[in-house]
Chain A
Amino acid sequence: MTRGITSRFVLLIATAAVLPLVVYGLVSVESLRRGTEQSVSRGNQEVARQIAKRIGQYFDNNVRVLSSIGEELNGTGLQPWQRARILRNHVLDFPEFREISVFDVAGRVLATSRPGVSTLTIPESVGTGETVTTTFYVATPHIDTDALPTTTLAVPLMQRSDTPGWIVAEISLEELWRTVDKIKVGNMGYALLLDEQARFLAHGNPNDKKLIASGAAPAEQKLAATLHQPGTAFESVTFRNDRNEQLLAVAADVGRPQWTVLVEQPTSDAFEVTNRLERQLLAAIGLAMLGTVVLGWLWGRSFIQRIFALTRAARAIADGHMDERVAPSGQDEIRQLGDAFNSMADRLVELQENVRKQERQAMFGRIAAGLVHDLSHPIQNIGNSCKLIQKMYEDIEYRETFRKTVERELVIVKRVLDDLRNIARPIPLERFAVDLNRTVADAAEAMEPHAETAGLTLRTELTPETVFIEGDVFALGRVYRNLILNAIQATAPGGLIVVATEAQADRVQVRIYDTGCGIPAERVSQIFEDFVTTKRRGLGLGLAISKKIVEQLGGTITVASEVGKGTTFVLDFPRTTARPMLVAG
């Protein structure tokens, strides 16, 4: 209960103080994330555009160089060796050129950088003659004899040349690898270059360069296709590569040639700042929440500490420590509660003392009344007999009657006194294996005359199986006798009393039931207490003693009763495998 109050108190503080902070933080994180995504995407897209522009310039420059060479060769009447030298100088100065050759419109080689025969031709797809209008042509990169991508750049020499034709150069795309390799985006971002068939020409990730040789680019092919789809606005895409890295990709079109530049950056890198801020914000919120909860808890505990003290004092009094009190502090309602508790405890002590006094008086009255009842009759009989013996002393027969009467009444007095002594100090039992049926039969046989006198039928119903329990024959006999006597006294003449035994696997039961008046339900739970009896007179010790004996023998005694129909006592004992010495012997 108090914990519930504390928790509620803490929850209230947390909700009031932290919830707005959490909401504010989440809104901030979301805004930051969106802003960063847009910013990173735009930034990367700008990088991609710049690379695409640079690649376009790369080809423009080469076209310019080749056009310049072509004009130089065609317009200045150079000797063949001079033409070859010019071409070779360019091959030396521009490492990406593996070969440069000049052709006339018929495709004949006019000059080549190769010391031997030119390996180049005019690309078939551009056509020849005066219909050519293109400013340059870039062949689809092909895998050369060394299985690496190479392309051919062809520039027409149509307009300003005396001798129309083509200047064709084979370009190793390894130079483009280096251009793309130099691009670093963030810490882990890189650029890629794909040709018009979406095959890799360059890959900025050192560990994926093998893809250039193998040409595989499944994810990037889709991106490039999206980029070139008419009417599609390509901004950025996130996808997972074959290493299960999530990447943010943007694309830019080179234009001419129709190649695609992709910039890929792991999202962990792209959004590193956002993620870091997010983590920091969440950590701050978490710490604030934790701090609030801890403070609330401490405050709450100090607040209800006095309630805890009241609780402890109440529990102590409930446990019987009637002198327990609280030390009131403060000036608030809990102080008043503490004072009230202490007053209540004082009053409770007084009331308890009164009750004890009344109980003692009642108990004394009951004992006295019982003793008077139990002893007055035999004492009166003895007194009457003494009076008669004075008159009839000469009568020998009467003297015998006198002796018997005095002895019988003294036995009764002695039994009452024994009962009192047993309640105060129980007699130790001697436990040994006894035949249950036999003890029951002996007791029933002894009580048979009493039953007949009362006009009752006493019947035994014993289990045919011989069963043994660890018991004291004399104590058991006393229990049976008490119970049968109670049944006789509670049953009207003509009634029936049955004493039965019943064996189970490891238990054995003795049932004694009668067709007597029964016990009211409200009294059933008290009949085994000392000095409690349903009879008008008597000490009420019989059942209390019987219960103590049965429990000393490891058994239980229960009662079921219905007013007007009868009562059943059930004694339940554990069976024993031991046997009486006589039987075993």
Chain B
Amino acid sequence: MACQSIQGRHRGQAPPLRRRPGRAALCLTVLTGGLLALGSCHRLPPAPSNAHTLRLGTQKTAETANVLAEKLSAEPLLVLDWHGRVVPRLASEWRWLDHGRALSVQLRPGVQFHDGKPLTASAVAAILRKNVRTDRAEGFRSLTSIETPNELTLVFRLDHPDSFLVEAIAGALVMDEADPKVRTGPFKILPRTPTVETERTPTIEAERNAAYYRGTPGLDRVEVTLYDTQRAVFAAMMRGYVDMVPEVNPESVEFLEGASQFGMVASVRPFYIPLVFNLRHPILKRVEVRRALVQAIDREEIVRQAMRGHARIADDPIFPSHWAYTSVAKQHLYNPGAARLALEAAGFPLRPPSTPGRMPSRFQLQCIFYNKDFQFERIAILLQRQLEQVGVDLVLTSVDEATLTRRAAAGDFDSYVFQLTSGKSFDWTYRFWHSKGGYQSTGYSGADAALNDLRTSYVDPDVRIAVANLRERFYEDVPAAFLAWPETTRAVDTRFDLGDHADPELFANPWQWRLSSTQKAAR
């Protein structure tokens, strides 16, 4: 969930409008939103203030609090649904003009900010002009101006056609970070009391926006409490301190499944776990080596043994639920014999260890992984064991989040295991895997042309062809061993009903959250 929320948060990580991307370290920090963060203490959340309050418990990451607050209180003009289709939200419609050099967006009439002021094109334009300066979305790179021909129409002008603009707008919340009242969402964030925070204080408290344009929210309040780890969130739910956990760690899913007071919803997240190769490494820069390494990895075993089956095998970074994704694509199959032969052919015979105490190997690779999630440790150990079978000595080093992101951004690694976002758009794929996307320091450029094609594709057939070509490139010139798409399981106290379940995205419709009918009857 945290990763998903990071996907929609672009501000604060990018240089101003039209500038080239900044350091990859910052980018990687953003991409780690779904990973477990190191915390300092265990917090006990409060008892519910009343039955109309939903208490949400989640894992703490660097951006979790802000992102959750924004998910509850702010909205973009357009949103991407679970399949990556653009859906109007604050806008009522949108269309391309001037052969893809301009985008006209029509605002939904009657929408108000939390302070009661009407949502007008000029107000939205002012907010977006300010926000896009710090937004790293690719689609805003080509933006030259935002015009407001009338109070319900916005026109985004580009210096060249760029289909990513729509996705960038879908990720840009209409909100003023300095003024929490300049938001339109179903809940209003309450100001934090400037007192000493106790261990029972929720991090976020939000009350309903009775004037919400899509309907009055079903809950009076939402409280969010952050915990250090997923397991700690799970323990808090077991104690009855929270009503909803957006992500239950895989080892706890079976435990919760039999409990009648929790409803469980599982879905694949738009995040993937790869073993990222550094192509600047003298061995890893050779594509035949990378392909051999990918062939040596049994992803089924990783999903089964390290992730308890709560994941789907990944072939590339294209989200499997995306409308343009097809199951027909080339795949690297597990074949350690072929991998050994390929490595032999590449000139890497099995040699005695150069360092005492190490295994005989063809070569040695360093691998860093995140140290606060036992799942990553198991994945790393499994990778080590599998690569050992083809004579590759994978030296594992566990590091904390800050070190991992710093080293990954600086290119100070041979390989690393981490969780990256694909999002429901191609924006993140572009940013991470395009050599000029600004989010990677692996030296990979093999998919640049395919990503450029994708960026200039506007109609569905063109997008499908571009996606197929991109996947072909990731197969031929593999930049990483794409391991798995983790499943996430949401647990919700059955006293609550989260409304429309068509979109697995938890924050798709928070205004529909309400007490379940049985709970209402009991009251």
- A-side residues, CB < 8 A to B, are 79-82, 85, 88-89, 91-92, 95, 98, 113-116, 145-148, 172, 174, 177-178, 181, 206-207, 209-210, 212-214
Is the beta-carbon distance between A147 and B232 smaller than 8 angstroms? Answer: yes
CB of B101 within 8 Å of the partner chain: no
Is the beta-carbon distance between B385 and A81 smaller than 8 angstroms? Answer: no
Q: A206 touches which one: B42, B258, B371, B385 (CB < 8 A)? A: B258
CB of B100 within 8 Å of the partner chain: no
CB of B127 within 8 Å of the partner chain: no
A177 to B238, CA, bound (A): 14
Q: Name the A residues within 8 Å of B235 (CB-CB).
A: 146-148, 213
Is the beta-carbon distance between B388 and A92 smaller than 8 angstroms? Answer: no
Is the beta-carbon distance between B359 and A146 smaller than 8 angstroms? Answer: no
Question: CB-defined interface of B382-415 with A at 8 Å, one 1/0 digit per residue?
Answer: 1011001000010011100000000000000000
Spot the interface stretch: B49-57, B218-226, B372-380, B428-436. Answer: B372-380
CB distance from A477 to the nearest CB of B (A): 86
Q: A92 touches which one: B228, B240, B357, B378 (CB < 8 A)? A: B378
CB distance from B462 to the nearest CB of A (A): 45
CB distance from A179 to the nearest CB of B (A): 12
Q: Name the A residues within 8 Å of B251 (CB-CB).
A: 95, 172, 174
Q: A178 touches which one: B240, B254, B378 (CB < 8 A)? A: B254
Is the beta-carbon distance between B381 and A206 smaller than 8 angstroms? Answer: no
CB of B521 within 8 Å of the partner chain: no
Q: List 16 A-B contacts (CB under 8 A).
A: A81-B358, A81-B359, A85-B388, A92-B305, A92-B382, A92-B385, A98-B374, A114-B398, A115-B380, A115-B381, A116-B397, A146-B232, A148-B234, A178-B254, A178-B255, A214-B239
Q: Name the A residues within 8 Å of B308 (CB-CB).
A: 95
Q: Name the B residues within 8 Å of A210 (CB-CB).
A: 238-240
Is the beta-carbon distance between B381 and A92 smaller than 8 angstroms? Answer: yes
Q: Name the B residues within 8 Å of A113 (CB-CB).
A: 381
A80 to B357, CA, bound (A): 5
Q: Name the B residues within 8 Å of A80 (CB-CB).
A: 357
Is the beta-carbon distance between B258 and A181 smaller than 8 angstroms? Answer: yes
Kindly list the 4 A-B residue pairs having the minimum CB-CB distance in the complex, ordered from nearest: A146-B231, A115-B396, A206-B258, A213-B238
Question: CB-defined interface of B234-266 with A at 8 Å, one 1/0 digit per residue?
Answer: 111011100000000001101100111100000
CB distance from A22 to the nearest CB of B (A): 42
A206 to B494, CA, bound (A): 14
Q: Name the B residues within 8 Å of A91 (CB-CB).
A: 378, 381
A172 to B251, CA, bound (A): 10
Looking at B235, B252, B261, the one whose CB has the most chain A CB atoms below 10 A away is B235
Nearest chain-A residue to B237 (Cβ)? A210
Is the beta-carbon distance between A174 and B255 smaller than 8 angstroms? Answer: yes
A79 to B352, CA, bound (A): 13
Is the beta-carbon distance between A213 and B239 smaller than 8 angstroms? Answer: yes
Given A81-B358, A81-B359, A82-B359, decide whether A206 and B260 contact each other with a Cβ distance below 8 A: yes
A91 to B385, CA, bound (A): 12
By size class, the interface of chain B is 35 or more
Q: Name the A residues within 8 Å of B254 (CB-CB).
A: 178
Nearest chain-A residue to B255 (Cβ)? A177
Is the beta-carbon distance between A145 and B305 smaller than 8 angstroms? Answer: no
Nearest chain-A residue to B233 (Cβ)? A146
Is the beta-carbon distance between B238 and A207 smaller than 8 angstroms? Answer: no
Is the beta-carbon distance between B260 and A207 smaller than 8 angstroms? Answer: yes
Q: Name the A residues within 8 Å of B236 (CB-CB).
A: 147
Nearest chain-B residue to A175 (Cβ)? B251
Is the beta-carbon distance between A209 and B377 smaller than 8 angstroms? Answer: no
CB distance from A192 to the nearest CB of B (A): 14
Is the beta-carbon distance between A85 and B232 smaller than 8 angstroms? Answer: no
CB of B441 within 8 Å of the partner chain: no
CB of B229 within 8 Å of the partner chain: yes
Nearest chain-A residue to B382 (Cβ)? A92
CB distance from B378 to the nearest CB of A (A): 6
A314 to B36, CA, bound (A): 102
CB distance from A442 to the nearest CB of B (A): 88
CB distance from B367 to the nearest CB of A (A): 9
Q: B229 touches which one: A85, A92, A116, A146 (CB < 8 A)? A: A146
Q: B228 touches which one: A115, A145, A148, A174 (CB < 8 A)? A: A145
A177 to B255, CA, bound (A): 8
Nearest chain-B residue to A93 (Cβ)? B305
A28 to B5, CA, bound (A): 67
Question: CB-defined interface of B20-48 with A at 8 Å, one 1/0 digit per residue?
Answer: 00000000000000000000001000000
Q: Name the A residues within 8 Å of B234 (CB-CB).
A: 146, 148
Q: Name the A residues within 8 Å of B229 (CB-CB).
A: 145-146
CB distance from B382 to the nearest CB of A (A): 6
Is the beta-carbon distance between A88 and B357 smaller than 8 angstroms? Answer: no
A177 to B259, CA, bound (A): 13
Q: Name the A residues within 8 Å of B377 (CB-CB).
A: 114-115
CB distance from B254 to the nearest CB of A (A): 7
Question: CB-defined interface of B350-380 with A at 8 Å, one 1/0 digit per residue?
Answer: 0000000111000000000101001001101
Nearest chain-A residue to B235 (Cβ)? A147
Q: Name the B residues within 8 Å of A146 (CB-CB).
A: 229, 231-232, 234-235
Q: A88 touches which one: B231, B358, B381 (CB < 8 A)? A: B381
Q: Name the B residues within 8 Å of A145 (CB-CB).
A: 42, 228-229, 232
Is the beta-carbon distance between B397 and A209 smaller than 8 angstroms? Answer: no
Nearest chain-B residue to A91 (Cβ)? B381
Q: Name the A residues within 8 Å of B378 (CB-CB).
A: 91-92
CB distance from B492 to the nearest CB of A (A): 15
Is the beta-carbon distance between B398 and A116 smaller than 8 angstroms? Answer: yes
A483 to B357, CA, bound (A): 149
CB distance from B49 to the nearest CB of A (A): 20
Is the beta-carbon distance between B357 and A209 smaller than 8 angstroms? Answer: no
CB distance from B135 to the nearest CB of A (A): 36
List 14 additional A-B contacts (Cβ < 8 Å) besides A115-B398, A147-B232, A148-B235.
Answer: A88-B385, A92-B306, A92-B385, A115-B380, A115-B396, A146-B229, A147-B236, A172-B251, A174-B251, A206-B259, A206-B260, A207-B261, A209-B238, A213-B239
A98 to B373, CA, bound (A): 11
A181 to B256, CA, bound (A): 11
A115 to B42, CA, bound (A): 25
Given A115-B397, A213-B238, decide whether A148 and B357 contact each other with a Cβ distance below 8 A: no
Q: Name the B residues within 8 Å of A147 (CB-CB).
A: 42, 231-232, 235-236
Looking at A147, A177, A181, the one whose CB has the most chain B CB atoms below 10 A away is A147
